[in-house]
Structure 1
Amino acid sequence: MNNTEIFNKALEVIPGGVNSPVRAFLSVGGNPRFIEKASGAYMWDIEGKKYIDYVGSWGPAILGHAHPEVIKAVSESIKKGLSFGTPTKGEVDLAKILVSRIPSIDKIRLVNSGTEATMTAIRLARGYTKKNKIVKFEGCYHGHSDSLLVKAGSGLLTLGNPSSSGVPESFVNDTITLQYNNSSIVEEAFYKYGTDIACIIVEPIAGNMNMIKPKKEFLESLRFITTKYHSLLIFDEVMTGFRVGPQGAQGIFNISPDITTLAKVIGGGMPIGAIGGKKEIMKHLSPEGTVYQAGTLSGNPVAVAAGIKTLELIDEKDFYINLSNKTKKLTEGLQKIAKSMNLKVTSDYQGGLFGLYFCEKIPTSFEEASKCNHEMFKQFFNSMLNKGVYLSPSPFEAGFVSSAHTDEIIEQTLSIAEDSFKEIN
């Protein structure tokens, strides 16, 4: 059975044929590839075609796929049982590692996904501050809970509009969506609504409008204004946590949020999420406090085992230096090739996260990212895919490099990219 045949069968029983929308390839055309196995920097689809992978399960595969030591840890855990619905020592061990590595976190609660973590963070912020409104930024994705599926309104300070059917107006009315990297508009929003703003939630490095770095003063202004108005600052580090550096983005920019959400890398490829913060805030979570949160599979022992082993391995000396050098080699190489052909292509990176933009300047907001040449990206994506390189199937998604991507693999990628650029030049 080939990819087209199985996709047609999937369409009969799964909405859109996929279990997460970006997998449907709607932004790039064609049919999705159904992956059968993966190892290191490679994936193989059901037709046996091999790909160099720069999606990495959307971030968790920082060590590459199926790392032997992670597989061993998972195998040993599975032998003891898949799930207990009780506390386990592994949960405590993972929590201790996370608390020890991220200075802004005193206590942490394990959940099942990034969406669950951000949803809980919003509820906790509201419960702690006794305020209702939240501030988010256009282009930042924080999962699919109702309060966070809101796009910007027609004016800079208007309340937003639902970006999904099924989101009630009552949720929209309490969500203010602003432009990323725009400090002055944040100040205006707090001047207008500040007494009822519970929190700001932000990706400190955005990864869902392609990779967009914050201006230095932007994150600093968020920390200042939330403190001034007795609101909370939430860093959504689901994507950036342990992906861009040993303390996430907050370690790079030296800013301490009140609440941090994590997922992806901390589970080593297994489903997991986490919410952490200062003791005085975290004590408001049930059963200690009145902000309710629960999960049957929270702290799943198999996911915890994979996470602990992954975090142990990425703690090795020079891990992030080596990872950053690999990503730099890839992004600078892509930009150099494109420039030699007079193509309007730029790139940027941080740690093992990178962005490739089909425009003259690196974007700083969703509005700028939207003006890139998405048709050219589509052509480049499909050419690379056909030649055996799997990139994120959307111009609004970041890319990921793992420690398994050797110099040889990156050089092979650049050689393929040169051919693909020629096809669209």
Structure 2
Amino acid sequence: MTMTYQYEQSKIKFEASRKYLAQGVASSLRAAMKPVPLFVESASGSRLRDVDGNEYIDYMLGYGPLILGHSHPALVESVHEAMLKGSTYGLQHDGEITLARRLTELLPCAESVALSGSGTEAVMLALRLARAYTAKRKIVRFHGHYHGWSDTIFTSFPSSDMKPSGAQGQAQAETRPLPGTGGQSEIALSEVILLPWNDPDLLERTLRAGKDEIAVVITEPVMCNSGCILPLPGYLERMRGLTKELGIVMVMDEVITGFRIGIGGAHGHFGLMPDLVTVGKALGGGVAVSAVAGKSEIMKLLDNGAVSHLGTLNGNCIATSAALATLDVLTANGGAVYGSMNRVAGRLVQGLRDAMAKQGKKGIVNQFGPVFHMMFTAEERVDNFASFNKRDAGAYGLFAERMLEEGVLLRPNGLWYVSVVHNDEDVRQTVAAAERAMARM
């Protein structure tokens, strides 16, 4: 039976926040939550409680980082011990060495590592390294991929909880990148070549024609933000072969997939060796930390000062202790938690598909391990960006609002995350809530 959820305290706090905090929230993504951006009292395990006393099963997971769920004891203990010794020094400490070594051991392509604070920062560094290494300037990126919000890479993005330049972000037919936000430098995007993903022949023609100018191809291994669309068989392998042949750096952006899909990331899953990889989100289990890892011959540009790497809090004690604790949990017993996460995610995905069929709702759920994208659409399958853009984003936004009233917290764009602490009872309750929510749409 549906509980009566009230949000009066969140509404009061949101109005108070808007007097002092621009837009009332600390990230533009959060402003899209309906009926109001929630204010949180506490969270533990797979559950989150707001200031009105409502409890939710959380599949937003802080927009991805909380792979261990909320307040995991191992993470809390590690961070607490680190805090007792000081949060940051502006000097070196053993945690940096230990974490960098662990990353080179776990990530197949990692010979050397640089630590940073966010996914956006990691991508910025990777692109600078690629340009310095090749002495070329242009960047190839793809429609529907997200690589952070810096001026040089952020393009119009089709997300219902972001504010794109158009109703669904930039159309796939467009090749001239459009800024993703007001105030962004259009000149900064002048060196970006925007292509449709999963078109190997167009990719090859573009790379061969521009090999003397193209420094880097940056790609997500899976289009997690845009439908959890998988690469076509052989597509990433062909990308790797072409970039290697033509002297172009291949960067795989694994800020979402790194340590979420498996301990070796998606490039380990697919058996690929990109030149550079960016990781973040799940790496810190909810504490801000990211990294660039890859070939030592590229990373040594940091050693000789050819590329500067700045950041007051890079490699701080809290970040490294959180990352090491998270990796310890994920690697225990040969990475057994991944089997559990995948099983729970699989049961949840099937339950949601069954619920849509039962309620007569046309929709698709695309899954890649413990992350999946749910959408309402008349398409028979969503396996490219054009078909993804035909989804009914408004209907899903309403579904997310109805699920909130059922005690389930979702991101309004359709992207779900499963953590190591989600269990079968969470699945049972979520599927039942989804049936009720869809019946009320």
TM-score tier, shorter chain, comes to over 0.9
Deviation for aligned residue 1:19:
1.5
Aligned letter for 1:323? M
Q: 2:140 corresponds to which residue?
A: 135
Deviation for aligned residue 1:69:
1.3
How does the TM-score come out when normalised to structure 2? 0.91
DSSP-derived class of the 1:315 partner = helix
Aligned letter for 1:295? G
Deviation for aligned residue 1:420:
1.1
RMSD between superposed Cα atoms in Å: 1.7
Task: Provide the rounded CA distance (Å) in 2 between the counterparts of 1:44 and 1:277.
Answer: 40
Counterparts in 2 of 1:145 and 1:207: CA distance versus 1, 3 Å: same
Among 304, 308, 325, the residue aligned to 1:292: 308
DSSP-derived class of the 1:295 partner = coil
1:389 maps onto 2:411 in alignment: no
Q: 1:168 corresponds to which residue?
A: 185
Counterparts in 2 of 1:153 and 1:40: CA distance versus 1, 3 Å: closer
Q: 1:93 corresponds to which residue?
A: 98
Contact 1:63 1:402 in 2 (8 A): yes
Q: 1:258 corresponds to which residue?
A: 275
Q: 1:372 corresponds to which residue?
A: 391
1:356 maps onto 2:361 in alignment: no
Deviation for aligned residue 1:153:
7.6
Q: Deviations over 1:194-216 (max 9, x none)?
A: 22100111111122224222222
Contact 1:150 1:175 in 2 (8 A): no
Aligned letter for 2:20? V
Task: Provide the rounded CA distance (Å) in 1 between the counterparts of 2:305 and 2:251.
Answer: 19
Q: Deviations over 1:91-149 (max 9, x none)?
A: 11111111101110000010111110000000110000000000111111111111111
Q: Deviations over 1:248-305 (max 9, x none)?
A: 11111111110000111211211111001111110012x4240111111100101111
Among 11, 17, 20, the residue aligned to 2:18: 11
Corresponding pairs, count: 419
Q: Provide runs of 4+ in structure 1 moved above 4 Å.
A: 151-157
Deviation for aligned residue 1:76:
0.6
Deviation for aligned residue 1:316:
2.1
Counterparts in 2 of 1:155 and 1:61: CA distance versus 1, 3 Å: closer
1:179 maps onto 2:196 in alignment: yes
Counterparts in 2 of 1:2 and 1:56: CA distance versus 1, 3 Å: same
Q: 1:248 corresponds to which residue?
A: 265
Aligned letter for 2:74? E
Aligned letter for 1:337? A
Q: 2:294 corresponds to which residue?
A: 277
DSSP-derived class of the 1:204 partner = coil
DSSP-derived class of the 1:72 partner = helix
Task: Provide the rounded CA distance (Å) in 2 between the counterparts of 1:14 and 1:181.
Answer: 41
1:80 maps onto 2:85 in alignment: yes
Please list every run of 5 or more consecutive structure 2 residues that lacks an aligned counterpart in the other structure.
1-7, 157-168
How does the TM-score come out when normalised to structure 1? 0.94
Counterparts in 2 of 1:362 and 1:137: CA distance versus 1, 3 Å: same
Among 215, 219, 231, the residue aligned to 1:198: 215
DSSP-derived class of the 2:14 partner = helix
Deviation for aligned residue 1:16:
2.1
DSSP-derived class of the 1:310 partner = helix
Among 23, 31, 37, the residue aligned to 2:30: 23
Counterparts in 2 of 1:343 and 1:381: CA distance versus 1, 3 Å: same
Aligned letter for 1:32? P
Contact 1:347 1:362 in 2 (8 A): no
Aligned letter for 1:305? S
